Amino acid sequence: MKFLLAASLLVLMPRQSGSEAARQLNAEGLLLSRQGDWAAAARKFQTALQIDPDDVEALSNLGVVLNKQGDFDASIKALRQAVKLRPADAKVHSNLAMVLSRKGLVNEAIVDMRKASDLSPQNDAIRWNLAILLAEARNDQEAETQMRAVLSREPEDAEKRRALAELLARGKRYDEAAQQYELALQQTPQDSSLHFEYGSLCQLIRQYARAAEHFLTAVQLAPGRAEYVAAVGNVALAMDDRQTAESSLERALQINPSLGEAHRDLGILYKRTGRLAESIVELQAAAKLLPADASTHFVLGQGLEAAGHSSEARQQFEITQRLADLAKRKTLAHAEVNFGAQMLEAGQLPVAEEKLREVIRSDPEDRMAQYDYGVALLLDNKPEEACSQFDAVLRHTPDDPDALYYRAKALMRGRQWASAVADLQKTVRLNPQDAYARNALGAALGRLGRFSEATSQVEAATQLQPDNELFQVNLSCLRQRVTGCRLAE
């Protein structure tokens, strides 16, 4: 599921004040932007900034056009400078959030989009984009809250209803998702893709008659969409309506011969009706198009075996077994990660490390296992090894606040105070309410002798958790500048 941001929210800003020359250059850049000449527009904004380096509109507009050119790093740099110069401008924060999200830094994007929403609480476009970013970060509860707030003021927006339906379906709240699809279809009954999505939900929960109704409507509205026609055939097959299934699947393949699912379903149908040779042909086509679909290989193996092709059948059964073993390993790996996490919480560090190490050996790209293994190593006083695990997580998700926090803790164990401060500053920016991150940042800053900044961070931690004795001890230590006072992380 891919939620879409409102692209129109990446806005260009007219120049309202400043020198006449800079204002003219900004206006020329805006005109070139509207014409789609991003490179020429960028040069105009850059020239304006040579005249006035603190021109927020030129900085923001430069960020927008650099984003259009795909230069995300330069775009982010320009927009961060604009935010620094004008921290109370919702549009600048929103623009920065949009570019951060396109670079894959969703957690960082949420920070700036949330700031934009706080600065402009009545701007539903900004609030909606915040909801979408929260959904992408799997913060479904807050995403739903934000979506419903916008829909309370825009109840007739079918696309927003669709997005909420998708979010609810992801959480397996199928009845509520169906309700949102119904409301969306009241607004746009001619939307074929909406009928198709709703039909797919109905099929998932085995409401086959309703699914068929919406698939048929989708086909009537968009008869050239092979996947819609194939869906009619698939649900007809589930209902054992063989005539409808055959005609729909054959038609879908006339429209798109590369539709593997249609070949598979047609092969299954032919097998049911005793047309073995035709079934094998369709299933062989499906196996080429869907090489990772174990069910296709298995049914093909059955057909080949029934036709007396034992050697070929055996090959298909072997493929089926390999795919089943792979799926089983993934399921077991997930269970092992959960078990390792439970052992970690129970303080059984050797057991946790062993389990998590096994998972990573099997799948070096398992981020959750790497993260948990890093925590286990840190608790077992192996900071260098822990850092390597958090490095792997952060290469994939550079703005993961938890991985940043624990890597900083590992760096502090190795007395790498400056590097720890850099990670903790990012953590606090991503999650300002994290009292433990603020306390750790204060401790690291204190080790560097930056007592004023350290005190400020620990004071903030204490405000968040007034009864935390550890924070109180650190705060007293920092305020008194006690020589040799050990700051607790």
- 292-330 pLDDT, tens per residue? 999 999 999 999 999 999 999 999 999 999 999 888 877
Question: How much is the pLDDT for 477?
Answer: 86
Burial label for 456, CB within 10 Å (0-12, 13-18, 19+), is middle
Q: What is the pLDDT of residues 200-236, one digit of tens each?
A: 999 999 999 999 999 999 999 999 999 999 999 999 9
Q: What is the pLDDT of residues 385-407, one digit of tens each?
A: 999 999 999 999 999 999 999 99
- What's the rounded Cα separation, in Å, for the pair 469 and 475? 10
Stretch 114-124: mean pLDDT = 95
Q: Is the pLDDT of residue 348 over 70?
A: yes
Question: How much is the pLDDT for 338?
Answer: 82
1-151 and 319-398 in the same fold: yes
User: What is the overall mean pLDDT for the chain?
Assistant: 91
Q: Is the pLDDT of residue 484 over 70?
A: no
Residue 339: which pLDDT band, with cuts at 50, 70 and 90?
Answer: confident
Q: What is the pLDDT of residues 411-460, one digit of tens each?
A: 999 999 999 999 999 999 999 999 999 999 999 999 898 999 999 999 99
CA 472 from centroid of its chain's CA atoms: 38
For residue 429, give Cα distances in angstroms to 136, 299, 433, 488.
19, 54, 9, 21
The domain limits of the chain are: 1-151, 319-398, 421-489
* Architecture field, domain 319-398: Alpha Horseshoe (1.25)
- Does domain 421-489 fall under CATH 1.25.40.10? My reply is yes
Homologous superfamily in CATH for domain 1-151? Tetratricopeptide repeat domain (1.25.40.10)
Q: Is the pLDDT of residue 337 over 90?
A: no
Question: How much is the pLDDT for 483?
Answer: 52
Q: What is the pLDDT of residues 163-172, one digit of tens each?
A: 999 999 999 9
Question: How much is the pLDDT for 317?
Answer: 95
Residue 7: which pLDDT band, with cuts at 50, 70 and 90?
Answer: very low
Position with higher pLDDT, 16 vs 310: 310
